[in-house]
Structure 1
């Protein structure tokens, strides 16, 4: 298929719009994103995926350094005989390291032709821009929840969730605070009757309560920012059981809403979150950093591949502010069904 005349005209307008926004003469040649546009690009990515706007995303100056403290995790009130009371808030020893990160979001000529025919030039440019920023933003979460290693050359075929792109939040906690992640077998058995075996739970509420009481220290346990991140496999199993038991409309509504609050905490199922993982933490505890001044963009029509490619290069990485404020059950340890006899 050839790029239609209308689609090409719209694409050239999109390219001209990028050139104006980023103050570059030719966006098909790699260009640096200057400071004002760094802020706008970050804001566009945060706006494109709602959950990404809930965590801590910021620019830092160094490739390696101390994790940035953004919370208020210790008591700030008291007295001192020697002067005014203060309490330190440090994350000594908790460091981050950024790595080269390269993204490419493309739109095929066929899709571009369809977009051009479906609306006006302005709508076409919005679709092109949103496609790029949304895909870049979703990959931040994809890698953040699933990344386990940093490969010199990544393989998206064998690692479709970016497992080899970077070390995500869960992996960092497993490596640096392994006691915060349960790796012994856990059995979520919503069909259980009678006495439960060791490591067996009938409800997600019971599992969340156990995590709070055993993995989350007292200073965080009743923090109003504490939430549950829960995999879709777990909520599906719980909802199926409740729906099968419900015989009134009100009970069915309750079953449908059960994943909104678990164990007294607000619950989220983020994009690309592993289906059997369960985490109790504060969303602000999950950090993603980009090195200031490293963002590079490129936007071009690639005839050999019959598509338009938007490229985004930078130094990026992940960090967890307080390891002890992250309590989890690893997806490899979670089983849906009864414990073996």
Structure 2
């Protein structure tokens, strides 16, 4: 594939840059330098990211003023109705009792000249602009989700080769919960295994049983009956459970049940979010997962990079993750989940058999 920016692609890319600059209210030449995204443009950028990944619309995205502060309370599980003899009853929504901390986050996406040439040939100018916009926004949005589920630390110098899921970009939700109250909301570890075996020789043989155990033993009683509780389940667990059901399914109703397994578990809505670890299960209210950006810190730039033969778009900000209410979050951690029979049970059966 040719690594030349065709005249057609160059013209369309210039039009894209002009529209991008107009949207941010700056001169097109200023795109090459890092510029601040403030005021209404911050809202537009956040909305563009939300529209690029459905899962981001389910969680709580908020702008905050400080790098460190108290988690924003969005009223998860709290009652907002009652009465007061001396006046009106009202439940204030403010800040919670635990803290968040933001860290420098720098995202960069490169579109090769070859890709731009193909897009320019594939459609009209409007289609080209849409493809460029969607690629850049979706790349940034998916990274936000990727780090949220897999981040364990915030390294001074990140290494994407060793940490392809952004493990060293920031502390994500699972890591934050594991550090709270001695990890009381997390079940399973490398030293404490849980066995999932649809054939019935493990600790659990259905996803329903796993999720029910999380809800009844780990989720705080105040949140157990919340209709918003959602089961987030890894693709490996779903595949193992579905595989067993399909093997046994000799009726249409059983086949339908297998197909619905990925959307309903233990009577709750079930989803498999992007970049969610394959053997992890989480029960929580999606809006209980928070992602904060410090207001006024968003910086953008977009320009040709002759050395890399591509068009670069960069997005810098102070960003971090938080959990609104730890007690409304419960999880089987993938490090402690094995999809196979429990060796101890197999050994016992052999001895008794």
The reply to whether TM is greater than 0.5 is: yes
Counterpart in the other structure of 2:184: 179
Deviation at 1:71, TM superposition (A): 2.2
Counterpart in the other structure of 1:105: 109
Deviation at 1:89, TM superposition (A): 6.5
Calculate the aligned-residue CA RMSD, in Å.
Answer: 1.6
2:57 equivalent to 1:53: yes
Contact 2:186 2:333 in 1 (8 A): yes
**Cα displacement string for residues 220-248 of structure 1 (whole angstroms, at most 9, x for unaligned residues):** 00001100000000000000000111112
Distance, in Å, in 2 between the alignment partners of 1:240 and 1:37 is 47
Deviation at 1:257, TM superposition (A): 1.3
Moved over 3 A (4+): 76-93
Counterpart in the other structure of 1:252: 255
2:163 equivalent to 1:155: no
**Cα displacement string for residues 106-138 of structure 1 (whole angstroms, at most 9, x for unaligned residues):** 110100000000111121111111111000000
Distance, in Å, in 2 between the alignment partners of 1:34 and 1:76 is 34
Stretches of structure 1 that go unaligned for 5 or more consecutive residues are none
1:35 to 32, 39, 43: 39
Contact 1:239 1:255 in 2 (8 A): yes
Counterpart in the other structure of 1:16: 18
2:203 equivalent to 1:203: no
The normalised TM-score by structure 1 is: 0.95
Cα distance change on mapping 1:255 and 1:266 into 2, 3 Å: same
The normalised TM-score by structure 2 is: 0.92
Deviation at 1:86, TM superposition (A): 5.6
Cα distance change on mapping 1:295 and 1:248 into 2, 3 Å: same
Stretches of structure 2 that go unaligned for 5 or more consecutive residues are 345-353
**Cα displacement string for residues 134-181 of structure 1 (whole angstroms, at most 9, x for unaligned residues):** 000000000000000000000000000000000000000001231000
Deviation at 1:76, TM superposition (A): 3.4
Q: Find the residue that maps to 2:16 and give its secondary structure.
A: helix
Cα distance change on mapping 1:90 and 1:8 into 2, 3 Å: closer
Deviation at 1:87, TM superposition (A): 5.8
Contact 2:34 2:301 in 1 (8 A): yes
2:8 equivalent to 1:6: yes
Q: Find the residue that maps to 1:94 and give its secondary structure.
A: strand
Matches within 5 A, 1:254-269: 254-269=257-272
Matches within 5 A, 1:209-288: 209-288=212-291
**Cα displacement string for residues 34-78 of structure 1 (whole angstroms, at most 9, x for unaligned residues):** 211110110010011111111001111111111001124223344
**Cα displacement string for residues 245-291 of structure 1 (whole angstroms, at most 9, x for unaligned residues):** 11123321221111111011100100000000000000010000011
Distance, in Å, in 2 between the alignment partners of 1:86 and 1:49 is 34
Distance, in Å, in 2 between the alignment partners of 1:15 and 1:210 is 53
Counterpart in the other structure of 2:137: 133
- Aligned residue pairs total 336
Distance, in Å, in 2 between the alignment partners of 1:83 and 1:58 is 31
